[in-house]
């Protein structure tokens, strides 16, 4: 009886997993497709080596940067006492609210030749253009800096949690053996936090590979810009799919290397003590250095860009919150809201099905769905457009045969295909939050509900949903913000004459209309702060528990 009742649920989970995995499969099936020889030879002989080189250098620079900044700030806020620590322990997460492409627009205006920084230098010292050298922010190094400023919180969050949860007993044991602060850090704390740090760096690198707005605006040729160029400039969807497959190979390579780097090492806290350790008090010069080390990434990644955006939006040009802005905001909120609602519903189906089945099959399907977050938006867009466009043509032909007129593109002509791409990209975010909430519901609650005659549906509605309601809200909020910030998939797949805040900011910035772009960019940053409020509360509370 149990097997029969579970069959429809498992079938539904399998269908969802197949739909989520289809875009990646579509990309992979085009690796060896013919008909692209001319375009592929042109790419290989001209820009492909540059794509590979820039992508590798970008990953190396961003990986090193987020590692240094994230680990340093995590250690200081977790294990040291200095003025402002309680503020920094939650505020250091705020740069996640600002997409890298928004920082690219802001710092270009701030640091360009006619910007306030260089203008102030020339006025102060009486210099001319030939009298000084100033680094060009619109470069590969500038792109690295933008990504480090907004992505270091991935490492900070995971490393800080690892330091707090694993370090207490181990550090006390190290102190009894005569280890000083620096030796304890390098010999005890950092090795124990290695899995968390590696995961944070990997997440930052995947976000770097997925970016289009920053590298495109800075003129840095990577695989993401190549995919867009092959699809729109060269009109070759197969070449775009093959470049997308190469980018996907980069992502998988990082995941495999991260897993292999651990080998057989295990990172358990064997002392059995996880209570918070009293922070090491820093005084005078050391405290000042700690404050500067925490303040610099916060200012560079959030405070300064947000302040400049607000200044531009209120004082410069035509950057006003008018009727067109309302349309852009409406489009963004419709896409984000619709995707969030559908994602939470599907995540609840997947998580609840996995909980009831307790089998390998359901767990494997949930893992398959989770892989979508590791795939860049540009790859997903290409993977969605190829099969969905074919389906659109089939539906249009069938409609014409039935009713005598061509309805046009039913799926790709509207927002349905775009929402589908968002679900492929961000369903994993909702699934993780919902699964974590469901884990709080103990099996005894299910057994008690069954003993009272409640069906599985009644148990979900009357027992599980009230408990996981907060997790559902959190997952919806996270998906909402991710969709608001998503640029590559939106640029590729948005319907004709349909813009969002993200595409508007990118388009205006590309036309050097930075003051007008500031309004849309500021709105994206403001919306991005919402989930960080909840997250920062948890971070602040974790130290005091």
Residue 271 pLDDT: 45
Report how far residue 242's alpha carbon sits from residue 231's, in angstroms, rounded to the nearest whole number: 11
Tokens for 48, please give them: 């492909």
In which element (H, E) is residue 141 found?
helix 140-176
Retrieve residue 33's tokens. 């497709």
* CA 480 – CA 162 distance, rounded (Å): 28
Q: Is this structure's pTM higher than 0.85?
A: no
* Residue 192 C-alpha from the chain's centroid: 25
Specify the domain boundaries for CATH 1.10.3720.10 within the chain. 49-314, 340-498
- Decide: helix, strand or coil at residue 81: strand
Q: DSSP secondary-structure letter at 276?
A: P
CB neighbour list of residue 114: distance below 8 Å, 6 or more residues apart? none
Distance, first Cα to last Cα, the chain: 46
- Of 148, 142, 101, nearest to 301 by C-alpha is 148
Alpha-carbon distance 105 to 110, whole Å? 9
The pLDDT tens digits along the chain (545 residues) read 344 445 777 888 888 888 888 887 777 776 666 555 566 677 777 777 888 889 889 989 999 999 999 999 988 888 888 888 888 988 888 888 888 888 988 898 888 888 888 888 888 888 888 888 888 888 999 999 999 999 998 889 878 877 776 555 555 555 565 555 656 665 666 676 777 788 788 878 888 888 888 898 898 988 888 877 777 666 676 777 777 777 777 777 776 776 666 555 544 444 444 444 556 777 888 889 999 999 999 999 999 998 888 888 777 655 556 677 888 888 988 998 899 999 988 988 888 777 777 677 777 777 777 777 767 777 788 788 878 877 777 777 777 777 777 666 666 677 888 899 899 888 888 887 777 677 666 666 666 666 666 666 666 666 667 767 766 777 787 788 888 888 888 888 888 788 888 888 888 888 777 777 888 888 888 887 777 766 666 555 544 55
Helix, strand or coil for residue 168? helix
Q: What's the CATH number for 340-498?
A: 1.10.3720.10
| Integer CA distances (angstroms), 194 to 67, 172, 186, 268, in order | 11, 19, 11, 11
Helix (H) or strand (E) segment spanning residue 210: helix 194-210
CA atoms of 203 and 194, how far apart (whole Å): 14
Q: Which CATH number fits domain 49-314: 3.30.420.40, 3.30.300.10, 1.10.3720.10, 3.30.70.980?
A: 1.10.3720.10
Nearest-angstrom CA–CA distance, 137 and 146? 9
């Amino acid at each position: 009886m149990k097997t029969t009742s579970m069959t429809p649920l498992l079938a539904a989970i399998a269908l969802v997993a197949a739909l989520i995995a289809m875009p990646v499969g579509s990309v992979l099936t085009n690796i060896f497709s013919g008909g692209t020889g001319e375009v592929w030879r042109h790419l290989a002989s001209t820009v492909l080596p540059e794509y590979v080189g820039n992508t590798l250098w970008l990953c190396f620079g961003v990986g090193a940067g987020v590692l240094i900044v994230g680990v340093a700030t995590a250690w200081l806020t977790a294990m040291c006492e200095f003025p402002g620590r309680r503020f920094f322990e939650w505020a250091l997460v705020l740069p996640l609210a600002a997409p890298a492409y928004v920082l690219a627009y802001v710092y270009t205006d701030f640091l360009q030749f006619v910007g306030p920084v260089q203008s102030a230098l020339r006025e102060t010292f009486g210099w001319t253009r030939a009298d000084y050298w100033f680094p060009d922010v619109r470069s590969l190094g500038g792109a690295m800096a933008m990504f480090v400023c907004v992505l270091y919180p991935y490492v900070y969050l995971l490393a800080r949690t690892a330091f707090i949860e694993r370090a207490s007993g181990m550090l006390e044991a190290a102190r009894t053996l005569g280890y000083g602060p620096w030796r304890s850090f390098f010999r005890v704390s950092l090795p124990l936090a290695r899995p968390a740090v590696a995961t944070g760096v990997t997440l930052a690198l995947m976000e770097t590979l997925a970016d289009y707005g920053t590298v495109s605006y800075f003129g840095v040729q990577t695989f993401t810009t190549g995919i867009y160029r092959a699809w729109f400039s060269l009109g070759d969807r197969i070449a775009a799919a093959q470049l997308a497959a190469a980018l996907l190979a980069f992502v998988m390579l990082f995941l495999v290397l991260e897993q292999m780097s651990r080998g057989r090492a295990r990172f358990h806290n064997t002392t059995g003590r996880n209570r918070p350790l009293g922070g090491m008090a820093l005084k005078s010069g050391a405290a000042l250095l700690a404050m500067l080390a925490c303040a610099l990434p916060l200012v560079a990644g959030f405070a300064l860009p947000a302040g400049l955006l607000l200044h531009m939006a209120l004082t410069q040009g035509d950057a006003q919150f008018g009727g067109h802005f309302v349309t852009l905001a409406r489009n963004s909120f419709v896409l984000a809201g619709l995707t969030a609602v559908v994602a939470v519903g599907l995540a609840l189906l997947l998580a609840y099905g996995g909980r009831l089945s307790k089998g390998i099959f359901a767990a494997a399907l949930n893992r398959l769905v989770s892989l979508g977050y590791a795939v860049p938006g540009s790859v997903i867009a290409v993977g969605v457009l190829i099969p969905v466009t074919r389906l659109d043509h089939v539906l249009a032909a069938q409609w014409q045969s039935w009713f005598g007129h061509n309805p046009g593109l039913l799926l790709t002509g509207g927002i349905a295909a775009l929402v589908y791409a968002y679900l492929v990209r961000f369903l994993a975010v909702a699934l993780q939050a919902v699964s974590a909430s469901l884990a709080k519901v103990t099996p005894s609650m299910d057994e008690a509900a069954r003993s009272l005659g409640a069906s599985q549906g009644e148990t979900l509605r009357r027992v599980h949903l009230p408990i996981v309601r907060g997790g559902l809200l959190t997952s919806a909020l996270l998906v909402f913000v991710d969709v608001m910030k998503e640029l590559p998939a939106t640029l590729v797949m948005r319907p004709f004459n349909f813009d969002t805040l993200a595409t508007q900011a990118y388009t205006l910035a590309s036309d050097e209309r930075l003051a007008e772009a500031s309004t849309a960019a500021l709105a994206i940053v403001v919306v991005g702060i919402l989930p960080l409020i909840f997250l920062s509360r948890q971070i602040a509370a974790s130290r005091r528990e």
